[in-house]
A and B are shown apart, each in its own frame.
Chain A
């Protein structure tokens, strides 16, 4: 009887034990949705994995921002690059006068010396990289979701037949912190553009040097126009220059002449440039300044003229106005011509050496009449004699004190 009573409690004990096990199991299942992280904080089931994926996505979003920034930066850097004559920072070629403050000089004069700053292909690439890094930093600075390192890129430029490929290689990674760990990713990018700026600017450099040479030749010969007050303007004739830079439709040159040098300021609008994100045109600005080392062109003696006023006759030596715009003064050279016994003259031919001629040392006061310059022959204060035959030669000095060292045009035989 006693044994049977004990047997009744056996299934009850099993039942209670089973309920206990189930409660423990249920608690365990519920607790499994609230697991702990490495720091001992309660987190939900899968939360760490989801956070990890979210971090990847945050990185992906940051990389997308970098790619977009790179696309816009390439074009915006090109604008700054072109406006600054390709140079990011060049103290030797920096503008040094108020007139050309917005222009970087590719050739400049510092302390009467020519400084050449024509950018090489390497200069073009290096300076563009600086502009591009600078522009990228401006975009990265405002990115709110992660810290994108600044001044972070080395660039590789590869020009193909139709395109330019820009490879931006990041030197530092973007770090995205996820509680106890950091996610690091390299924000390198590759951009393609149809504007091949390296070969384009290289072409501008070559063309500018050609223009400079042509301009110097033109200035050396004079404008060829008697009434031209600004031979630089004539020599930098816009239509002539347009032909020299092929394919450039909108092209502007603002020549500025200083007493001792010539300055050409270029504004070139490149029609081949197409920014898909803006209608803004690309304007390339730069300047060239070179010393006025060119003596004025030859001056042609036209003859003598006699005028009688109130019974007094005055003789004038006349010559054609020099074609240089910066004529400062005229020097008159002469040599006597004597008749030889038995015919002929001494000298037999017009002199070719200026040292064999005599310079009139008194100040020469001239008067411009129409296209001719005249000087009243002073018989009293010079060695010139009335009725004598001479070879005359006129040498011109410009305002930069340039003059020919020897006779550059055949002296003219005149009896005064």
Chain B
């Protein structure tokens, strides 16, 4: 019996230690839960932002391949850009058709829009900027480039830049 009483005191002491350990374990578990979640999100964010950028390259090629009829001739947007470079009379049709295509592309945020810039290379001279959205304090996302031959010229070519203009930095 005496021995049993002594054992009871030990039991109380070890229970306190166990309780403290359990609480500490829960706190540590919670902290690591947060940390693991954050670490996971970091990699997901990184892969997502890069894959969105990959999608924009496909969008640019889709845009360039979009069929359009000019002067009764069936051609694509890439040809229309070439025609515009040689003759300004194609400006309205180019802007109209481009806006139509760019507006059809999916946007990740309410205040965001796809814009297209065309440059003459190698001078890097801006030929035209077609914007479906223009806001102050914006962020350029998902930027992608493509190149076009310039009909009738063997020394110059066109560079196209497609990007997403966002109001919010978190839009990607």
Which A residues are closer than 8 A to B by beta carbons?
1, 4, 7-8, 11-12, 14-15, 18-19, 22, 25-26, 29-30, 32-33, 44-47, 50, 53-54, 57, 60-61, 64-65, 68-69, 71-72, 75-76, 138-139, 141-145, 274, 276-278
Contact yes or no, B21 A11, CB < 8 A: yes
Q: List 18 A-B contacts (CB under 8 A).
A: A4-B10, A8-B14, A12-B21, A15-B25, A15-B28, A25-B36, A26-B35, A33-B39, A33-B46, A46-B50, A50-B51, A54-B54, A64-B78, A65-B146, A68-B149, A142-B149, A143-B147, A277-B83
Contact yes or no, B149 A1, CB < 8 A: no
Within 8 A of A (CB), among B121-172: 121-122, 146-149, 151-152, 154-157
Contact yes or no, B148 A68, CB < 8 A: yes
Among the stretches B56-64, B92-100, B101-109, the one at the interface with A is: B56-64
State which of A7, A30, A75 has its C-beta within 8 Å of the C-beta of B14. Answer: A7
Q: With A and B bound together, what is the CA distance between A4 and B121 in angstroms?
A: 83
Contact yes or no, A277 B79, CB < 8 A: yes
A116 to chain B, nearest CB (A): 34
Task: Note all chain B residues with C-beta closer than 8 A to A45.
Answer: 43, 46-47
How many residues of B are counted as interface, with CB atoms below 8 angstroms from the partner's CB atoms? 50
Task: Note all chain A residues with C-beta closer than 8 A to B21.
Answer: 11-12, 14-15
Q: With A and B bound together, what is the CA distance between A154 and B156 in angstroms?
A: 26
Q: With A and B bound together, what is the CA distance between A47 and B54 in angstroms?
A: 12
Q: With A and B bound together, what is the CA distance between A277 and B86 in angstroms?
A: 9
Q: With A and B bound together, what is the CA distance between A300 and B70 in angstroms?
A: 66
Q: Which residue of B lies closest to A7 (CB)?
A: B14
Contact yes or no, A32 B50, CB < 8 A: no
B interface secondary structure, majority? helix
Contact yes or no, B151 A278, CB < 8 A: yes
Q: With A and B bound together, what is the CA distance between A69 and B157 in angstroms?
A: 10
Task: Note all chain B residues with C-beta closer than 8 A to A65.
Answer: 146-149
Task: Note all chain B residues with C-beta closer than 8 A to A22.
Answer: 28-29, 32
Q: With A and B bound together, what is the CA distance between A120 and B119 in angstroms?
A: 44
Contact yes or no, B17 A12, CB < 8 A: yes
State which of B35, B39, B61, B121 has its C-beta within 8 Å of the C-beta of A60. Answer: B61
Q: Which residue of B lies closest to A70 (CB)?
A: B149
Contact yes or no, A72 B46, CB < 8 A: no
State which of A50, A54, A143, A276 has its C-beta within 8 Å of the C-beta of B71. Answer: A276
Task: Note all chain A residues with C-beta closer than 8 A to B83.
Answer: 277
